A and B are shown apart, each in its own frame.
Chain A
Amino acid sequence: EAQVTQNPRYLITVTGKKLTVTCSQNMNHEYMSWYRQDPGLGLRQIYYSMNVEVTDKGDVPEGYKVSRKEKRNFPLILESPSPNQTSLYFCASSLGGGEYGYTFGSGTRLTVV
């Protein structure tokens, strides 16, 4: 089944403790992207990647890092999480860029206390 898999689905952590949210897609898509969703603010793009080793900032990249060492994986790294990063995070992938639509994962709900 074609899908984007994120792990974990739920995570509670403490301020300052580094964490990684993994994302993997099995569709051989070139484009991958991370979003956060907050009430009243909708979905905002954090980082995107157009191919292996090619990444760029979205609208809200502060406090996040990404890497794209393999085509299928696009982990999101929070080096020193803070409470304002408490949010619902989505990873997504696309064959031809956003104009052709993204396939989204099921989300990771992160709480930073």
Chain B
Amino acid sequence: GQQLNQSPQSMFIQEGEDVSMNCTSSSIFNTWLWYKQDPGEGPVLLIALYKAGELTSNGRLTAQFGITRKDSFLNISASIPSDVGIYFCAVGTYKYIFGTGTRLKVLA
């Protein structure tokens, strides 16, 4: 089946640093979404992107819908300890595909 590849797979960062991660696909998608999963919980929607080239912010989070419609990027500014978790990109309407995830660990 189709795959969404996320990088990096995991990262350790210092509190206060900015974080960047991306998600790529071999197919074109018209909507990209980003979720965060806290330990022991289900994913929670962070940002949805509906237009190629679109840049959308949610607090310290900024996501971009790649112009080719085959990728998306998520940036977290000034990271804090509660940013720890797994970040997933996702695409689809009925059939839904999640990326492989980026595990973020923040060192205080």
Binding site for B on A (CB under 8 A): 4, 31, 33, 35, 42-45, 48, 50, 56, 58-59, 90, 92, 97-107
Since A104-B42, A106-B41 are in contact, a sample of 13 more A-B pairs with Cβ atoms closer than 8 Å, ordered by chain A residue number, is: A31-B94, A42-B100, A43-B88, A48-B96, A50-B94, A59-B1, A59-B95, A98-B90, A101-B35, A104-B41, A104-B44, A107-B41, A107-B42
**Interface size class of chain B, counting residues whose CB lies under 8 Å from the partner chain:** 20 to 34
Given the contacts A43-B88, A45-B95, A99 and B41 also touching, CB distance less than 8 Å: no
Q: Which residues of B contact A (CB under 8 A)?
A: 1, 30-31, 33, 35, 40-45, 48, 50, 88, 90-101
Give the CA-CA distance A4 to B2 in the complex, in Å.
Answer: 27
CB distance from A108 to the nearest CB of B (A): 10
From B1, which residue of chain A is reached at the shortest CB distance?
A: A59
- Please give me the 4 A-B residue pairs with the lowest Cβ-Cβ distance, nearest first: A104-B42, A101-B45, A43-B98, A97-B93
Across the interface, which residues of A come within 8 angstroms of B1, CB to CB? Answer: 59
A97 and B94 form a contact (CB under 8 A) = yes
| B32 CB to nearest A CB, Å | 9
For A58, list chain B residues within 8 Å (CB): 95-96
Q: Is the CB of B95 within 8 A of A48?
A: yes
Cross-chain contact B99 with A42 (CB below 8 angstroms) = yes
Tell me which residues across on chain A come within 8 A of B42, comparing CB atoms.
4, 90, 92, 104-107
Q: Determine which of B33, B94, B100 lies in contact with A101 in the assembled complex, contact meaning CB atoms within 8 Å.
A: B33
Across the interface, which residues of B come within 8 angstroms of A43, CB to CB?
43, 88, 98
- Specify which of B1, B40, B45, B93 lies most central, judged by the most chain A CB atoms within 10 Å of its CB: B93
> Are A100 and B48 within 8 A (Cβ)?
yes
